[in-house]
Structure 1
Amino acid sequence: MSPTAHTQPPGSHGSEAVAPIPVDIPVALGDAFAWYTPGQLPRGVLLCGTFGFEQGCAYRSWRELAALIAGAGCPTLRFDYPGQGDARDPDGPEIPAALDAIRAGIAFLRERAGVDEIAVVGLRLGATLAALSQEGDPGPGIDRLVMLSPFATGKAYRREMAMQSRLLDVMPDRTPMPQEPDALMVGSFVLGPQTLADLGRLDLMAPARAPARRILLLGPKVDSLAERYRALGSAVETGPFPDLTQLVSDPLFSRTPVETFAVVRDFVVAGADGASAAGTRAAAGAVAPAPGRLTDAAWSEEVSRFSPGLVGILCRPAAAWSGDTVLVVNSGRNPRAGHGRQTTRLARRLAAAGIASFRFDLRGIGDSPDRPDGSLPLYAADSVAEVTAAIDHLAALGHTPGVVLGNCSGAYQAFQALAQDARLRAALLVNLYCFDLKPGTDVETMVRDTFRHSQGYLARARQGRFWRRILSGEIGLTRIAAALLRDGRARLDRWTTRMPWRTLQRASVAGRVARIRRRGARICMVYSADDLGIPTVRAHFGASDDRIGRRLGYPVTILPGTDHNLSRQADQDRIFALLERVVRDARPAAGEPAPARPSRSPRGLALRLSRSG
């Protein structure tokens, strides 16, 4: 078997469209957090994603694969491992907890979904763990197993992650980020000493029992593993996994391998309609579980859906609630858990301090629906209406947020929402690149162009490697000229932004900030040192730090020695301390009336509030 795959832009699925997303149900599997979709066939399918940064890149495509399989009639379950995504942190080591979660998922499908056959699909490290989860299990085992580019050993995974870390986790000057002793940071996810040690003991060639009766292996260098499984009695098919890197290496521009996923669906569904009569009766009588809620000593979380089809999680304090709620907007295309799972950890830390929070997915991100035109949600003008919808939803629950938090593109949406909705009393904007985006801007080109800052070229011009890349044709002179021209236009725009004919306009940034301040709201801005957004602030508000502080309500905070994603724990601690202060300052005075909702949604997008448990 030699399946092929191609990739498509978000919202575009080539000749074979991904099935409409069925309604799935949030459930708890011990410490894991899962989404379950019922089905009428007696074969359940468990999707075991990979870990950390790679799963963050693949999250939305993984959801599409679940929908594709569920659309064929199989009950389907996908989940976050303990310590990842929206799951709880495990009480013990991470790798054994992940194996337990896989076994719990299989048990859920057998017992709660009423199936008598199990198919498992694993991606990268998830494929390795799925195969090893059956070691020593006397149960009926897995009927079909799909392994997408598995790691033959945990040591191979560690080596590849170490290489990725040198590319992903870098300081502003492109030097590697300092690592914690005996740990490895990969895309802001930290593999601790125990996890690294446990990974070192994983070996797919060691078990004396095949993990499944039928196995599909897709990816490079799988021939030896395929022969091993055949020797153990499995029927094994193999094939390539084209464009794997497009799926797991870039959270902003990840692409769904539609044709390969169609092959996966066909393999796991094949023959399911001919399963035993007992299984058919069990599936027909299965009862869908009640929506899952996760709780801990300090917090309680519940998933909710609201118009237009958006998904979010309200995190409440387990003890006394201060009355404060923070709204968190996605950064880039990171799902609501945030880059490196920072948002989930922040939410639970806020709950321990008595502060509620709501993290949600804009359209085109995480578990929310696609944008109607399939475009990227980054800096989308109409996404502010979705932030307004989240505020409406929280208001209906008695949790009207006072503070909105966003990083990078999320900071852009947070500023727009603060300017348009008087119910927000403050914003914490981290690494805001721009306050406005001109209509017609090619956002994808803007984000992809890593050389958009002319200083980047000037610094690289002193490096021999830069000139070798030009001479080899890897970097074209046209690309350099275009980037310098864009940067020059941006500099001219910043230089003229405080000219009288612009500052007197009601739509100017300075004018909007002045109106925000007149209603008593404030803006707290935080930047990594040398971030590209810093000149924008000075362009709009001047070079005087004191003057900027007076105009925004807080002085701008610059964090030296950190990266754009604030990956280090010390920098996340600084953000938490600043957020706590902003929340305290934003509390309304006693007897102050609550501000009204805007008379209509921004950009005329009609939103109807709905709620589901």
Structure 2
Amino acid sequence: MCTRRFYRILAERLSGIGVASLRFDYSGTVNSLDETACERGLSVWQEQVATAAETLKGLSGARSLVFLGQGIGASLALLLADQAPKPDAVALLAPVLKGRAYLRELSLYSRLIDDGLGIRPELRDNAAGSIAGLRMPRAVADDLRRLDLTQLEIDAKPNVFFADRPGLESDPTLRNQLEASGCRLRAMAFSGYDALVSNPLNQEIPDTVIGELIDWVESLPHYRSERMLPRTRPMPVASVRSRSIRETSVRFGPDARLYGILCEPIETFAGVTAVILTTAYDHAAGWGRSSVELARELAMAGVASLRFDSAGVGDSPPVSGRRKQVLYDEAQVGDVALARDFLDAHGTGGRAILIGRCSGAYVAFRSVLADPRWESCILVNPVAFRWRFRGLPKTLKSYLKNALDPESLRRLWAGDLDLGAVTRNISMRLVDRMAGRLSSVFAPAKPLTQLTRQVHRDFQVLADRQMPLAIVYTEGDEGQEMFRVNFGDAGEKLSAYPNVRLHLFPDADHNLTPLPSRERLIELAKDEALALGASSHKNASHGAEALRQSI
């Protein structure tokens, strides 16, 4: 979840110095299919690294290879240093040295995340390697328990870039072994490791590590010392398929800047396409791979879908002039319009439904208001329907606490905090607090009262269009606080809008991490999409009958 954008930036930097690269997903992860292959364990991923290397050589014409990986990927890079196709160099970013210790660390980190999300113990996934809704294939976890790179002997003597995790004692042990074996080693501490992998919401890209990596690649003996061979085959259209679905990697928008995955049913098409939005920090696979699961289940029901990264998220580069953190940014509405343009041009046909969670739900709601081409919408745990803040605001108490925090002061001094956004958010909080103390005579002038009126006007627009709108909240979700301000404690004011349906999901967190809650959303999305397709078919039949009668 956290390294997707990091790898995209690294690939762009490598391309800038004339180095081609290929990044891919192992079986059973992110956008790859063939999950049953993982029953053979870690050896399957090793085979896929070799296949990826041969594919890259064929596509780029390059003869010299560098294997680069982080975590388990770094471990595989080192394990394969002696095997064909042999790399000329390997870059190890925080490699997993002892698999058993790594699984224990994942288990501890998983519990911390579940605690932070408020997931009840009986709803947690305690399988080895499971974390934040993602489950490591069991056979891979079993093989990892036996992994110990400190006992590894390497006959080849590749150039090695080694970025070790500060404070991890076994990293210097392996580094010393590599030096003693004759490997030409460049070592550095992986500064910024925790800031990169701890939380996708506020991660920081380790620019220092990227800079050192680029410099190391340029220093390799084979860098620009030989001419590339011609490509052995034309550039393929990235596509995977099973018996019932086909997925194709696509780029669209100005300069093809947006990256997405089009998922289509192979046989029966229900005449509906769903566009699945990110949350501005989750990439297109979704939290816990939920968007992938949703897309494929929809395809098996006959519903096509497009999941994509907004600008600055995952594999889509940022747009000059936009804020670095695009959370609750109106500019994302433009990206959604580009996705609809792509569907119209692609010719998927039929009608379209927009699905978003959290900040993605906010963007979905603003998008259907701005663009009448959308015929249906599902909002999951929307925090608000109109946004007055910049980014994700904190409480006044939190702002005061952070003002005295040395780390916050350091980030402010380094320019990592948006001072304008912080100032605006604090001002809005103060206005709300002062307005709340006004007498009831001035209640209509309160900012929140005015905001609620605007929200109701927005809902009336969709009601006038008769556009189906499904709103999902998990019980106790923080987003319900603003929902109650707008529509009453029980949502009773929604009765004014017959096009709206409210759904409450029990036993789930804001991200729908537990599998049963994700399955409930999948069923709801199927129902809404198929109902939209059925209404379209019914309207078409009535139109044809009216035409026959007029003739």
TM-score where L is the length of structure 2: 0.83
Take 1:301 and 1:207, find their aligned partners in 2: how far apart are those partners? 39
> What do residues 29-54 of structure 1 show as CA deviations (whole Å, max 9, x unaligned)?
xxxxxxxxxxxxxxxxxxxxxxxxxx
| Secondary structure of 2:135's aligned partner | strand
1:91 maps to what in 2? 36
Q: Considering only aligned residues, what root-mean-square deviation do their CA atoms show, in Å?
A: 3.5
1:359 maps to what in 2? 307
- Residue 379 of structure 2 aligns with an amino acid whose one-letter code is L
TM-score where L is the length of structure 1: 0.75
- What is the deviation of 1:345? 1.4
- What is the deviation of 1:251? 0.7
Are the aligned partners of 1:302 and 1:315 in contact in 2 as well (CA < 8 Å)? yes
Which residue of 75, 78, 84 corresponds with 1:128? 75
Does the C-alpha gap of structure 1 residues 505 and 156 become closer, same or farther in structure 2, counting only changes over 3 Å?
closer
**Does 2:192 align with 1:243?**
yes
| Secondary structure of 2:35's aligned partner | coil
Take 1:405 and 1:140, find their aligned partners in 2: how far apart are those partners? 43
- Residue 297 of structure 2 aligns with an amino acid whose one-letter code is R
Deviates more, 1:164-173 or 1:244-253: 164-173
Take 1:590 and 1:158, find their aligned partners in 2: how far apart are those partners? 51
Take 2:243 and 2:494, find their aligned partners in 1: how far apart are those partners? 41
1:389 maps to what in 2? 338
- Residue 333 of structure 2 aligns with an amino acid whose one-letter code is V
Does the C-alpha gap of structure 1 residues 67 and 579 become closer, same or farther in structure 2, counting only changes over 3 Å?
same
Take 1:96 and 1:542, find their aligned partners in 2: how far apart are those partners? 56
1:415 maps to what in 2? 365
Does the C-alpha gap of structure 1 residues 498 and 394 become closer, same or farther in structure 2, counting only changes over 3 Å?
farther
Are the aligned partners of 1:172 and 1:562 in contact in 2 as well (CA < 8 Å)? no
- What is the deviation of 1:205? 2.3
2:274 maps to what in 1? 326
> Where does structure 1 lack aligned partners over 5 or more consecutive residues?
1-55, 458-466, 594-613
- What is the deviation of 1:513? 0.7
1:204 maps to what in 2? 149
1:581 maps to what in 2? 527
Are the aligned partners of 1:125 and 1:157 in contact in 2 as well (CA < 8 Å)? no
Are the aligned partners of 2:240 and 2:248 in contact in 1 as well (CA < 8 Å)? yes
1:153 maps to what in 2? 98
Identity %: 26
**Does 2:217 align with 1:268?**
yes
- What is the deviation of 1:535? 2.3
**Does 2:429 align with 1:486?**
yes
Does the C-alpha gap of structure 1 residues 59 and 472 become closer, same or farther in structure 2, counting only changes over 3 Å?
closer
2:546 maps to what in 1? none
| Secondary structure of 1:91's aligned partner | helix
| Secondary structure of 1:346's aligned partner | helix
Which residue of 200, 205, 218 corresponds with 1:256? 205
- What is the deviation of 1:402? 2.4
> Residues 292-331 of structure 1 correspond to what in structure 2 (within 5 A)?
292-308=238-254, 309-331=257-279
**Does 2:351 align with 1:406?**
no
> Where does structure 2 lack aligned partners over 5 or more consecutive residues?
410-421, 541-551
Taking CA–CA contacts closer than 8 Å with sequence separation of 6 or more, which of the two structures ends up with the larger relative contact order?
1
Are the aligned partners of 2:455 and 2:486 in contact in 1 as well (CA < 8 Å)? yes
- Residue 260 of structure 2 aligns with an amino acid whose one-letter code is G
> Residues 65-104 of structure 1 correspond to what in structure 2 (within 5 A)?
65-93=10-38, 95-104=42-51
- What is the deviation of 1:91? 2.2
Does the C-alpha gap of structure 1 residues 177 and 78 become closer, same or farther in structure 2, counting only changes over 3 Å?
farther
Number of paired residues? 511
Does the C-alpha gap of structure 1 residues 419 and 470 become closer, same or farther in structure 2, counting only changes over 3 Å?
closer
| Secondary structure of 2:160's aligned partner | strand
- Residue 97 of structure 1 aligns with an amino acid whose one-letter code is V
- Residue 300 of structure 2 aligns with an amino acid whose one-letter code is A
Are the aligned partners of 1:528 and 1:564 in contact in 2 as well (CA < 8 Å)? yes
Take 1:74 and 1:505, find their aligned partners in 2: how far apart are those partners? 52
2:543 maps to what in 1? none
1:518 maps to what in 2? 464
2:55 maps to what in 1? 108
Does the C-alpha gap of structure 1 residues 506 and 228 become closer, same or farther in structure 2, counting only changes over 3 Å?
closer
- What is the deviation of 1:558? 2.0
> Residues 545-560 of structure 1 correspond to what in structure 2 (within 5 A)?
545=491, 547-548=493-494, 551=497, 553-560=499-506
Take 2:32 and 2:381, find their aligned partners in 1: how far apart are those partners? 27
**Structure with greater helix percent:** 2
**Does 2:285 align with 1:337?**
yes
- What is the deviation of 1:526? 0.9
> What do residues 40-72 of structure 1 show as CA deviations (whole Å, max 9, x unaligned)?
xxxxxxxxxxxxxxxx11211211111111211
> What do residues 454-499 of structure 1 show as CA deviations (whole Å, max 9, x unaligned)?
8x99xxxxxxxxx9x99999999xx9xx989939928968x99995
1:228 maps to what in 2? 177
Take 2:475 and 2:430, find their aligned partners in 1: how far apart are those partners? 19
1:168 maps to what in 2? 113
Take 2:298 and 2:25, find their aligned partners in 1: how far apart are those partners? 21
> What do residues 236-270 of structure 1 show as CA deviations (whole Å, max 9, x unaligned)?
22211111111111212222222221111121232
Take 1:100 and 1:488, find their aligned partners in 2: how far apart are those partners? 60
> What do residues 205-253 of structure 1 show as CA deviations (whole Å, max 9, x unaligned)?
2332256511121123422102222333322222111111111112122
1:26 maps to what in 2? none
- Residue 391 of structure 1 aligns with an amino acid whose one-letter code is R
